[in-house]
Structure 1
Amino acid sequence: MAKVELPYGKEKVVLEVPDDRLQSVLVSELHHYTPEGSQIELVRKAIENPIGSDRLSSMAKDKDKIVIISSDHTRPVPSKIIMPLMLEEIRRGNPEADITILISTGCHRETTRNELIEKFGNEIVSNEKIYIHDCDDESMFVKLGILPSGGELIINKLATEADLLVAEGFIEPHFFAGYSGGRKSVLPGIASRLTVLANHSSEFIADPNSRTGILEGNPIHKDMIWAAKTARLAYIVNVIINDKKEVIYAVAGDAIEAHEKGCEFLSGLCKVKAVSADIVVSTNGGYPLDQNIYQAVKGMTAAEVTVKQDGVIIMLAKSSDGHGGDVFYKTFKEADDIKKVLDTFVSRGRNETEADQWQSQVFIRVLQKAKIIYVSDADDETIKDFHMIPAKNVKDALKKAEEILGNDNATVTVIPDGVSVMVVE
């Protein structure tokens, strides 16, 4: 009997599968990579050797207002390591700099103080200026022009008022932007809801280049690059992490060049070949990415590539924060026919996109390929409202999958961390 550990919240659960039924366990080589130093050493070395730019300390000289864009509570960015080193580097060049940390929530809920402390540590939260972006606060917006997509670029004015705009973040495979990190700090990170909606239009989500690991020809990425350049994002520190959320690689420097270097490194380690199976088990890599159903769609897209048509996906995501989006939830709760919902999305123009439509569109695409059994702490009715089948543990889920398929010898492929791999056909 094969036993596979799966991340679930802040814990691990074990899946048992008969050896003759287990087709493959798809894991990123990231988890086996031996870094060339400690986490702090890696980030410090990147800062000392920027790609395509001067050192941050030099860039900070004579700058009055400096804004550091930082990710929110939904991303496992090791800010306790990155942020102190960025602050140190800035003050090395300009001890009197007026620094604001701008939390890039995108269209997510506000990050709580406790979440900020967990992210940065009490010292930074108590002593630094921190502002949490709100995509609906029109008093904080500045219009900067028209995106290649035709939508308006509207971003937080704190970024536009900065003499130097920089960002921290991490790079992982992203299910429609190709990769996270870099330019995403601006769009969707600190953009208005209207701007995010235009960029995440049904046309772009449906584009075959809007997929995991693809930047070339990706219309969503093209918008994001334009936004970052227009906002004058001058410098980034981005890291790549393993399954323990530890830094194994870091890049710093020009927002475009450094990000591309990080994506190149990541791509070399996390591409895995799809191994077709009747049942595919996936996760969202545990906390913090598996806090809600909305985010869990990402891990499902890894399973989507390798599950057989009309097969079963077993998705593990603790979902202690519920569904993660009121509009997202309402879309599925009120839908008798998800195909009609998809048709409605596709009929909308770029500037008619509605909240969370992109996530719903991708989710429907997955639902059209396979049944989804959802293992979580969320209540059963909520899971059913999303047209999924609830299960409280992975053993129960596997039994339900066999019953759905009418085959207790159904083949199984396991993806222990669905957001850290790029599954390719």
Structure 2
Amino acid sequence: MELPLGTETVDVQLSEYDVTVAEPTGGDSVDVRRAAERALEEPLGRPLASTVDPDGDVAIVVTDVTRTAPDDVLLEALLERLLACGVDRERVTVVIGLGLHRPMTDDEIESMLGEHADLAVNHDPDTVVEVGRISAASHDSSDGSDDVPVEIGEPVADADTVLSTGVVEPHQYAGFSGGAKTVVIGAGSESLIGYTHGPDMLARDGVRLGRVEGNPFRETLDEAGDLVGLDFVLNLAYGPAGVLDVQAGEPRRVVRELAAAARDAFSVPIDRQFDAVVCGVGAPKDATLYQATRGATYVALGDRNPTRPGGRLVVPAALPEGAGEGTGERRFYRRLRDASDADSLYDELRRGYEPGAQRAFVVARVLRDHDLVVTDTDSPAVVEDCLMQAKPHVTDALEPDDDVLVVPDALNTLFVDG
């Protein structure tokens, strides 16, 4: 069996085990460029021409290197549409939505955006402007805060029109990513990241993988997007066969439309639990331990956990960048490295943590019930530092009598009751 590892695959021999493979089968692929043009012609809500001032400045926020997206194709389609609306290319700034991840290099930006790389700037989370405040009480907060500042990077705050590309994919907290999230988190500051990713928010019932409606995390992002002035988005969703659909228009409507399609495509019924669950990740997520652990947490903390209590989650991950070099990644690593055990770390983080450390909180939550084993990695010492186990290969993480579930694409599989 071939499983993703970095940009390639690793051969895993599981003939000696009782193996079940979880592979979503729904959805056909579309041509991204044609689908983007169709979406811009038939948007959900107002057309782009009615949202832009031809004489104004435009900021387009795009995803960073941690997400797989044809940003060059989506950006090209948007730029052509803007030109048709009378907006010259020179009035456009492309902002790379880093959040608290590391800046992208010039080579990475050129590889991602091609001939439009010259328009791009990395978001600087230390250079932001407050554009409004969100009432924490309206989201049933118990942390004593009256409101939360919404701060956004200067290129976005200074723009007359704010647009975004993005991917609507399963997300641990937002239900699905995309929409306002690309802008308010990707081009925002620690204030909103700290609030939305804090233990009070993440402990709420509605904050979970695959849920959009009734999700306080998603509601907060959408409200922040209104304050930022996010006018129009061009997003896509993946399916098992490739890009499933592309939609454009009003951010909330786009997310809900694409999330519904993706949920149908990625759902896998499950009627029992397994001794070991092998979670495929691959590039770009398995470049860092911070991102690769999503494979395990998405499986274990979804609506239906297929891993038995005390069972193992096994993640093949290359980890060429170790834990990761961004601010959030370093905080994640320090929290896990300095912890004595998962229970005490969870209790400590439940009382609060700095933005970025939320991934340590979620990992600790999983580690209280399951072992997490990372295999085939370039950074075994980093893994062992973080309350996890490192093994050479997937089979080294399995026991002879294990009932094994293999999830080739753990980040895009939603388990439901069978």
TM-score greater than 0.5 by the shorter chain: yes
Query: Contact 1:104 / 1:185 at 8 angstroms: preserved in 2?
Result: yes
Partner of 2:81: 89
Counterpart CA distance in 2 for 1:299 and 1:163 is: 39
Q: Deviations over 1:356-398 (max 9, x none)?
A: 221111101111121111014333221111111112222333x
Q: Return the letter of the residue paired with 1:332.
A: L
* Superposed counterparts of 1:351-370, under 5 Å: 353-370=353-370
Correspondent of 2:124 among 125, 129, 134: 134
Residues 270-309 of structure 1 show CA distances to partners (whole Å, capped at 9, x for unaligned) of: 111234110110022x111211110112111233221110
The one-letter code sitting in structure 1 at the alignment partner of 2:40 is: I
Matched, 1:421 2:413: yes
Q: Which amino acid aligns with 1:106?
A: G
Query: What CA distance in whole angstroms lies between the structure 1 residues aligned with 2:392 and 2:349?
Result: 32
> Which of 102, 105, 114 pairs up with 1:112?
105
Residue in structure 1 matched with residue 401 of structure 2 by the alignment: 409
Distance (whole Å) between structure 1 residues aligned to residue 4 and residue 239 of structure 2: 13
Q: Does 1:341 align with 2:339?
A: no
Indicate the SS of the match to 1:419: helix
**Alpha-carbon distance in structure 1 between the residues aligned to 2:320 and 2:24:** 26
Point out 4+ residue stretches in structure 1 off by more than 6 angstroms.
none
- Inter-partner Cα distance in structure 2 for 1:376 and 1:395: 10
> Does the CA-based 8 Å contact 1:282-1:302 persist in structure 2?
no
Q: Is the 8 A contact 1:202 1:357 kept in 2?
A: no
Give TM-score, length-normalised by structure 2: 0.90
Separation of aligned partners in 1, 2:359 and 2:268: 24
**Contact residue 27 and residue 272 of structure 1 kept, 8 A:** yes
Q: Following superposition of structure 1 onto structure 2, how do residues 293-372 of structure 1 map, counting pairs within 5 Å?
A: 293-304=289-300, 305-324=305-324, 325-348=329-352, 353-372=353-372
1:19, CA displacement in angstroms?
Answer: 7.2
Q: Kindly, what percent of the aligned residue pairs are identical?
A: 25
CA distance in 2, matches of 1:143, 1:229: 10
Query: 2:316 corresponds to which letter in structure 1?
Result: L
Match of 2:134 among 121, 143, 146: 146
How far is the alpha carbon of 1:422 from its aligned partner?
1.3
Take 2:65 and 2:266, find their aligned partners in 1: how far apart are those partners?
24
In structure 1, the residue matched to 2:238 is: 241
SS across alignment from 1:144:
strand
The Cα shift of 1:333 comes to: 1.2
Are residue 212 (structure 1) and residue 209 (structure 2) matched? Answer: yes
SS of the equivalent of 2:37 reads: helix
Q: Aligned letter for 2:355? A: A
Question: Is 1:265 matched with 2:268?
Answer: no
The equivalent of 2:58 in structure 1 is 66
SS in 2 for 1:43: helix
Q: SS at 2:314's partner residue?
A: strand
Equivalences, count: 398
Task: Give, as a single letter, the amino acid of the residue that structure 2 aligns with 1:210.
Answer: V
Q: Check whether the contact 1:66–1:100 (CA below 8 A) recurs between aligned residues.
A: yes
Give the Å deviation of 1:243: 5.5
Give the whole-Å Cα distance in 1 for the aligned partners of 2:334 and 2:378: 16
1:179 aligns with 176
- Please say if residues 78 and 247 of structure 1, whose CA atoms lie closer than 8 Å, have aligned partners that are also in contact: no
How has the CA–CA distance of structure 1 residues 113 and 242 changed in structure 2, closer, same or farther, with 3 Å as cutoff?
farther
SS in 1 for 2:286: coil
Over the aligned positions, Cα root-mean-square deviation in angstroms equals 1.8
Q: 1:360 to 1:301 in 2, by over 3 A?
A: same
Listed one character per residue, the Cα deviations across residues 127-156 of structure 1 (whole Å, up to 9, x for unaligned) are xx2221122x14x32342234453221111
Query: 2:176 touches 2:255 (CA, 8 Å); kept in 1?
Result: no
Question: In structure 2, what is the Cα distance between the partners aligned to 1:233 and 1:95?
Answer: 17
